[in-house]
Structure 1
Amino acid sequence: MRRAVVVVCALLCVTSCGRGGAADGDSGRLPGAPTGVTAAAGSATSVHVMWNALPAGSGVRAYEVYRGTTKVDEVPGSQHMVEVTRLRPSTVYVFTVRARGGDGSLGPRSRAVRAGTPALVTADRSAPTRPAHPRGRAVGSRAVQLSWGASADDRAVLSYDIYQGDAQIHSVGGNQTATVVTGLRPGTRYVFTVRARDASDNLSPASAAVRLTTPGSGDGRGTAPTGFTAQSHEEAGAYYLDLAWDPPRVDGVVTEYRIQLDGGTTTSLVWGGTPPKGRSTYSFYVGRDHGVVHHVRLRARLPDGTWGGWSAERAVTTGS
């Protein structure tokens, strides 16, 4: 069972059922070593590790991230960035990445990269200044290039976080004032902002928004959860709705859903930790009245920070 943090509603039970089978591609091929691995401190106790995706057809099911010889994280093959936390200030760490194939075999390690965490300044409550004059342009149908003016801080800017809407989707080191954001969707309108962060995790105000549209056809098909079902059950005189769905098949990991009840009230469901890889279920309280008809649907926040399409709407009667 995996925990989920529920915003607006009380914490309720979330379960998932794993789905077997190898990832798409040649599951019998040993994946190669990931390339383009970089590591940069995000704070005095965290480091961002990023790498390039292996080519399509490599049979990659997951990536494993190592600190020295210790495995610190494993993410699905569609994810190419992790934040390694609970590190020590003023310490140099060495990171490598390995790809896992569809049959479970591990490929060779990437080249090792080093990142040093800065000293922790507990008395620092001064945030960096707002990044100035952000600009951007589309570079193909699935990527954009962003740039901005450097922020100032009373000590030092450690990193810049890139947001799409209110979702952080990328991060670079404090010595960078430009980056390329990949994994976007064709024909989609995006709103990017940049925030600067110092070693004490003080965040600057958001920069002015950069509005860009990627070229190509973006009809939104394939972004809605599928196989959505809803039913009611009674427990101790109260009624609950039991939802089940398959996540949309998108390039990245879905960690947040928005549930809409009766066309108005919405609840945010945020996975605490690794989200389910297969079918997911969620139950929530809807009252104590028998025979009430509820209409419910949900949608996912996609890895590029946008909201996907709504699932089919289901009508459920309490006590039915």
Structure 2
Amino acid sequence: MRRTAPLLALCLAATGLTGCTAADTTPPAAPAGITAQAGSATSVHVMWQAPAPADGVTGYLVFQADRLVRELPADKTMADVTGLTPQTAYTFTVRARDAAGNTSAPGAAAEATTPAAKAEDRRVPTAPARTTGRADGPRSATLSWTAATDDTGVTAYDVYQGGVRIHTVGPAETGTTLSGLQPDSVYTFTVRARDGADNSSPESPAVDVTTPPSAGQGPGTAPAEFTATASPGAVTLTWTAPDTGRPTGEYELHVNGRPVTVIQFGDGAVPPSGATRVEHRLTVTEPAGTQWTLKLRARLPDGNWGAFSAERSIVLMA
């Protein structure tokens, strides 16, 4: 925990000023859990663990040996370092920085060796054919997938959640554990294989993982078994209402990460909570070929929004 109270007391004693504020000179803790994985012949993916909120971290500095190669905000805990040399060993460290400009000591160094370059490699790897996942608790999950193939060899597997890459592992791995998840949430994961020329495969089949509520949180609040089906000029949504103890008649729909509408069901039209499927049809005017990623959440009896459903990707039809 960051502490400046003793400095503040000294400042007040020395000056007698009630408005005196001590400067923050305490650096944050060094980032933990630093890993490095070669993604191609010229790039390495560096990751580390998110700090505790009390550390007050506002950004990170990524170093290759003693050279600063990336600066990132506090919400980013991974970085791709590019422009590297094939068949070369590299060492990476990460430092944390706070709002006062204090910089931590470097975290434990991570090493990675880039593979040999393959000339004119334009063939993408095959997609992992099968993906499975399970929640290990309210804040972690384990994924596994079938190995992909490539004419020059797979060099890494990238895990995506909601269309964003969140994790990378080596070519010999066909599974990984993800941490830092939220309780009572549905996550949709896919996996892509990558080769030494940075060609990425198509996505694996998506897998939904639902984290359980944390202790004392009560039953889950996420709509279950969410589906989205495109038809000419329309999108049909179906889901199972969460069991909140009473009928749920209001849902917030998000499209491509943004809230776009609130779906409301009038009296008599709301199915019993958790008992039957709910269906809603949207009329769309966007051009055919537009891609949407959709998810929704329910208004709870206490007035707050519950956890999100799984995400579904569709392409609109004419």
TM-score (norm 2): 0.58
Q: How does 1:1-320 map to 2 (within 5 A)?
A: 28-216=25-213
Inter-partner Cα distance in structure 1 for 2:211 and 2:260: 29
> 1:34-57 deviations in whole A, cap 9, x for unaligned?
221110111122110011223331
Sequence identity, in percent? 46
Inter-partner Cα distance in structure 1 for 2:185 and 2:259: 23
Work out whether residues 27 and 59 of structure 1, in 8 Å CA contact, stay in contact via their aligned partners in 2. Answer: no
Work out whether residues 34 and 48 of structure 2, in 8 Å CA contact, stay in contact via their aligned partners in 1. Answer: yes
Distance 1:110 1:265, change over 3 A: same
Work out whether residues 28 and 59 of structure 1, in 8 Å CA contact, stay in contact via their aligned partners in 2. Answer: no
Inter-partner Cα distance in structure 1 for 2:163 and 2:68: 30
How far apart are 1:154 and its partner, in Å?
2.3
Q: Equivalent residue of 1:57, what SS? A: helix
Work out whether residues 118 and 152 of structure 2, in 8 Å CA contact, stay in contact via their aligned partners in 1. Answer: no
Inter-partner Cα distance in structure 1 for 2:203 and 2:150: 15
Inter-partner Cα distance in structure 1 for 2:182 and 2:52: 18
* AA in 1 matched with 2:60: Y
How far apart are 1:129 and its partner, in Å?
2.6
Task: Name the counterpart of 1:279.
Answer: none
> 5+ unaligned residues in a row in structure 2: which ranges?
1-22, 223-255, 262-283, 292-309, 313-318
Computed over aligned residues only, the root mean square deviation of the Cα atoms, in angstroms, reads 3.1
TM-score (norm 1): 0.58
Structure of higher RCO (CA pairs closer than 8 Å, 6+ residues apart): 1
Distance 1:259 1:44, change over 3 A: farther
How far apart are 1:206 and its partner, in Å?
2.0
How far apart are 1:108 and its partner, in Å?
0.7
Work out whether residues 27 and 101 of structure 1, in 8 Å CA contact, stay in contact via their aligned partners in 2. Answer: no
Q: Tell me the number of residue pairs that the alignment of Structure 1 and Structure 2 aligns.
A: 210
* AA in 2 matched with 1:157: V
Inter-partner Cα distance in structure 1 for 2:147 and 2:95: 34
Greater helix fraction, Structure 1 or Structure 2: 2
Q: Equivalent residue of 1:83, what SS? A: strand
Work out whether residues 136 and 212 of structure 1, in 8 Å CA contact, stay in contact via their aligned partners in 2. Answer: yes
Work out whether residues 188 and 311 of structure 2, in 8 Å CA contact, stay in contact via their aligned partners in 1. Answer: no
* AA in 2 matched with 1:171: T
Greater strand fraction, Structure 1 or Structure 2: 1
Inter-partner Cα distance in structure 1 for 2:203 and 2:134: 19
Moved over 6 A (4+): 217-220
Inter-partner Cα distance in structure 1 for 2:96 and 2:311: 27
Work out whether residues 164 and 306 of structure 1, in 8 Å CA contact, stay in contact via their aligned partners in 2. Answer: no
Distance 1:132 1:259, change over 3 A: closer
How far apart are 1:139 and its partner, in Å?
2.1
How far apart are 1:259 and its partner, in Å?
9.1
Greater C-alpha Rg: 2
How far apart are 1:178 and its partner, in Å?
1.4
> 5+ unaligned residues in a row in structure 1: which ranges?
1-25, 221-255, 269-304, 308-320
* AA in 1 matched with 2:144: S
